[in-house]
A and B are shown apart, each in its own frame.
Chain A
Amino acid sequence: MKNPDQKRHLHGMWRMAIFAALLALLPIRTHASFSFLPTSGTPSLGVQEQQFVTGTIMDDQGLPLAGANILEKGTNNGVMTDFDGKFSLAVSTGAVLQISYVGFETQEVTIDAGDTTDLQIRMALDSSKLDEVVVVGYGTQKRGNVTSAISTIQAEDIVTTTHSSLAQSLQGKVPGLQIRQQDGEPGSFASSINIRGFGEPLYVIDGIVRDGGVEFQQLNPNDIESVTILKDASAAIYGLNAANGVILVTTKKGKIGKPTFSYSGTVGAQTPTNMPEMSSAAQYLEMYNDAVYFRDGNHFITAEELQKWREGGPGYVSTDWFDETFKDHATQQQHNFSVRGGTEKVDYFVSLGTFNEGGLFRSNDINYNRYNFRSNLGLQLTDNLKAEVMVAGMYGKREYPGGDGFMWTYKGAIISLPNERPFINDDPNYPANIRNQQNPVLMSRDEYAGYTTNENKNFTSSIALNWEVPFIPGLEARASVAYDSRNMFNKNVWKNYTVYSPDLTPQVVNPPRIANAIDDINRLVFQGQLTYDKTLFEDHNINATLVFEQKKYDKKYAYLKREYDFFTTDIVDFAGGLQTNSGSEVEEASMSYIGRFNYDYLGKYMFGFAFRYDGSHRYAPGHRWAYFPTLSAGWRITNERFMEGVDFVDDLKLRASYGEIGENVGDAFQHVLGYSPAPNEGAEFTNGTVTGGLIAPGVINPNFTWVESTIADIGLEGRLFDNKLSFEVDYYSREKTGKLKTREGGLPNTFGGDMPIENLESEITRGFDFLVSHQNRIGEFDYGISVNMNLARTMHKVVDKPEATSSWDRWRYGFPDRWNDFVWGYDRIGQFQDQEAINQGVIHGGNLGNSQLLPGDYIYADVNGDGMITGEDEMPIFRNGTPKLFYGFTLSGAYKNFDLNAVFQGAGLYTMRFNEVFSQMFFNDGNIPAYFHDRWHLADPYDPNSSWVPGRWPANRFANYMQSSYRDSDAWRMKADYLRLKSVELGYTVPSKVSQRFGLDHLRVYVNGHNLLTFADSFVKQFDPEKHEGQYQAGYNYPLMQSFNLGLNVSF
C-alpha cells in the first residue's frame, strides 16, 4: 500500500522528467537574429532624402509578429519582419508605411524625420474578418464567401475559460452549440454537446473523423487553433453521420518565426455547486415515525426516545453523512508547455500538457491525471511538395474507490440514516454495519471498498502530402493517411471488509472480486484530394475539390472477472474463485466520393454545390451506396450599387443552403440470418454445468439502409457602424427520414419473432439562432459584448404505432405532427385541507377510494369530470427535460494591461424531474431530504385527534401508501430555467519592459472562477439545474463544481 504523499511526490517527479525531456528535444536557438531579405522591390533611389527605419511589429497581445509585410506606400519598397518581429527599411522622409498581416487590420504609420529607430507598432485584430480563412469540409474558405451556417471560435476565445474539459471552455460562447454539463466527476467528461438541438454531432479533428464527445473534451485546449461548427447542410461534406452537425477542430501548426516557448498553468480549488441537504436524526425519526404510524397504526419510536434525539447528547448524535464522507473542496492544476516556430523548410508546433484533478472524498481516493502531447510538423520537401506530419497522444488515468462507481457511494451518503454512525462508538476499528449497508465512509476508501482505475490511451497520427501541381496553376493534390489507436484498460477491485453491529457482531461484506476490461480500437483513414482554385476573367472565382476517402475501424473488447476466495493481491491471477468473462469484436468499413464546387462573382454572388456518394458495410449489397447533394448560395448586398449611400452598413450578406446528409446508424448486418449466442440464457442440464444458450434469428431486414436528413438554412449576417456591431441570424429546419425503429405498429404480437430495426419514422426540427456582438474602444479601454441564442424544437412526423383504439387513445398516444417535447402529467390544483374535504373530494385513490388519503395530499384537476382521478386526467402540460433554449453572453474588456472576460450561459424551456430519493419519501428505506420536513403532520404525532399542521409536502408515508400524491405533477416536475455566470477571468499583463528584464516576451497572470453565480428557481437551484438527472434519473451523479483558479501565461 503506497501512502498518498508518496504517490503525489511521484507525480511531481514524473512531471519534472517530462519537462526536462521536452527541453532536450527542442530545436536549439542557433539563429537568434535571423533576418529576411526584402521580398519585393528594390531600395528606392528617388531624389528624396532617405532615412533608415527599424522597429518591431507586435500582435494585439504584444507578441512579436514574424512575417508581417511593411511597404512604403506608393512604392514597391518593402520588407518582411523577421522571427523577432523586427524589421529595418530605408524610406524617404515623410513616407507612409503600410503594415499588413493576415487577420490584422492594415495600419499606416507616417515616418517623420527623427522617427528612425525602434518603432513599436502594435497591430489590431481585423474585425471585418472578410478575408479571414475559415476551415470548412476538406479545405478552407474565405469568411466573406461562406454560404452556409458556420460558427468559428479562435484559440484566444477558447482559452479565456480554463477547464479540464474543452466543452466547458466552449460553453455559452457559440450560437447554436448547446452544451450542458452532466456530471462533475474528475475524468468523466460527461458534458452533452449538441448542435442546434439535432443530437450528438460528428467530431472532425484535423480533417479526420475521430471518436466522439469524450475524446473531443479531452483535447488540450491550448493546442487548438480554432473550432468550427458546421451547423447546416454544409456539414454534409463530412457526409457519414454529419446530420447532427460537425465540430471541426484545427490544431495549431508551426509558423515561420523564431521558436516561441509558451507556458501556461493554473492552480485552483473547487467546491460543489450543490449538495442536497438531508434530514437530521430528529427530523428523520419524526418523519419515519409518522410514516410507520400512518401505515401500521403503531409508532416507530416512543415520544421519550424521540425527544432524546431532538436534544442530542451522548448516544444521540445526528450524523451528517456528507460531512463524514466529503470534504469542502478539491484541487486542480494544469500545466501546458509548447514551442512553436519554423523556417521556410520546417515549421513545428510541439506541446505537452498535464492536468490533475482531485476529488471530493475525504479519503482523497478520487484522482484524475491526464497527459497530452502533440507534435505538428510541416516539411517543405521541395518547392511544390509539402508534407504534414501530425502526431498526438493522450494518457488519462482516473481512479476512484470501490468497484462500482461514485454513484453508489454518493447514494450511500444520501440515504444512510442520520441516527447511525460511520463507526461503532466512533471507534475507527469498528466500521459500522448500518441499515442500508452502504456505509459511504467505507465505500469512499480504497482500503475498504477496493478501487477502480480507468486508463485511457489515445494516439492519433496523420501524414499528408500536398503537391501544388506546377504545370496547372491553382491545382493542388493531397493525399493523407491517418492512423488512430485507442486503448482502454479498466480495472475494478472489490475488497471485502468487516463491519460491526452496535453489539460488535462482525459481518464480512462486499465479496472480493477483480475485473479487467480491455478495449483496443484501431482506425485507418485514407484520403486522396484534388483542389483547383482559380480566378477567371478577373471577376469569376472558382474553387473545386474532389475527394476519395475510405475508412476502416475495428474494436476488440475483452472482459475478465474473477472472485477471490480471500483477497490477497489485486492481480487477476491471485483470485482463485469463479471466473466470468466476455468479449466482442466489431469491424466497420466505409468508402466515399466527395466533391465540392464553389463559384463567386466579385465576391457578390456566391454559389456552392457539394455532394457525397457514400458506401457503408452496414447494409446489404444494393443498399450500401447513397448519394447526398447540397446546394448553397450567397448574396453580398453591400456590394450592390444601391447600397453605396448606406454608410453605416459595412457588410451585409444573405445566404441560404439546402442539402441532404446520410447517417449509417443502427446495428449492422440486419440482412444476415444467424443465431446469436446468449451465454447468460442457457440451462443447467447437468448439476454444476451450465450449457450456454443460442437464440433463434429474428426477422431480417434486407432493405435496411441510410437515415436521411434534409437540412435547410437561411441566414443573414452583417456588420454595422464601422464594424462596431455585427450580427448573424439563422433560421433552419431539418427533416430526418428513415429514422430507425423496431416496428410496433401492424405486426400481430403472436408472430413472435424479434423485429429488426427498420427505417420507419421521421421528424422535423426547426429553430433559429443568432449572434450579436459589439466591439469598441474608448480611449485605452477596449470592450466587447456578444450575445448568442438558439431556440429549437422537434416535431414527430411519421410515427410507427399501432392503430389507435379510440379517439382518446389517439389524443393520448398519437404522435404524428406533434412536438416531441411534451410530458404528460396531472394538473395539481391544491391540497386537501382536512378529512372532510377528502371525504367529499373527487376519488383519488382508485379501488380504495379516498380511504387512504390524508390531509395535505395533492388535489388534481378532474379533467374529464368523471369524479375520479385516473390516467385519463393527464394533460400535456409539461416540457420535457431537454432545454429548447440555450443562450449565452460574453463580456470582455481591456484597459491598459488589465483584461477581463466573463461568460454567462443559460438554458430554458425545460423541466427537471428527479426520481428516487428526491421525489419519494424514504426511498430504499433511507434518509430523506430535509425539505420534506415541511410537510403536513399532526401537531402531536402521538395523538391522532390533534390538529393537522399544513406544509408544502404531503404527510409522510411510504411509497405504496402514498396513493395519489406521487402522480406526475408540478410538485415533482419543475421548471428548470437557469442563467449562470459560467466563468469570469481577470488578467494582468506585465509590461514588456518589465518582463523582458527576466527574458520573457510576455507574462500574464490571471484569476478566474467558474459557476460563480446561478439564477434559477430557489428550490430547483439546490439540484443544480444544469446537471442532468443522471443514472436512474435520480441525481446521484457527481456534483458540478464551482472553482477558483490562479493562472500564469508566459512566453519567451
Chain B
Amino acid sequence: MGVEQKLGNLGFVTHKLEDVVNWSRTRAMWPMLFGLACCAIEMMAAEASDYDMSRFGMELMRASPRQSDLMIVAGRVSRKMAPVLRRLYDQMPEPKWVIAMGDCASCGGVFNNYAVVQGVDEIVPVDVYVAGCPPRPEALIHGVLALHEKVQTETMKDWA
C-alpha cells in the first residue's frame, strides 16, 4: 500500500503473481466435450441459452483434448471406455482439472455391477464432484464456481 501512495497516478498496480495467474486461469477455462450419457444432455442445457455457461468463461467446448483445460466427465464410464478416458486425460496439457458430474461419475451411481467403473476417481484425479442424477444445470454451474474458488487458492508450490 505504501508503494502505491508513493507512486500516485503513475499507473502501477501491485499484486501477488499467484493471484493474477489464478484469476486469468479461471476466467477462460475451456471444457472438453466429454459427454457420455444422460448428464451430457444437462451439460448441453447448461451451455444453451437458459443457463448460459459462457458467462463464466466457458464459451467454447473444444473437442480436442490438446486445446482444453477442464474435463467434465458427464455420465457413466464403462469398463470399455476407461482406457480411452485415461488416454484423453494424459493428452491434456497442464494445467488441467477434472469435474466428475453426476452420481455415476462420482461413485458408480445406481449401477453397482460388472460393467460400470465405480467412480471415475479410480482412473483420473478429480477436483470437484457434482451430485445429482442428473444434476440440474444450476448445480453444474455451482460446481464450476466451486472449482474456480479452488483454483484461486493454488500456490506456486502446486504449479511446480
Q: Do A and B come from one complex?
A: no
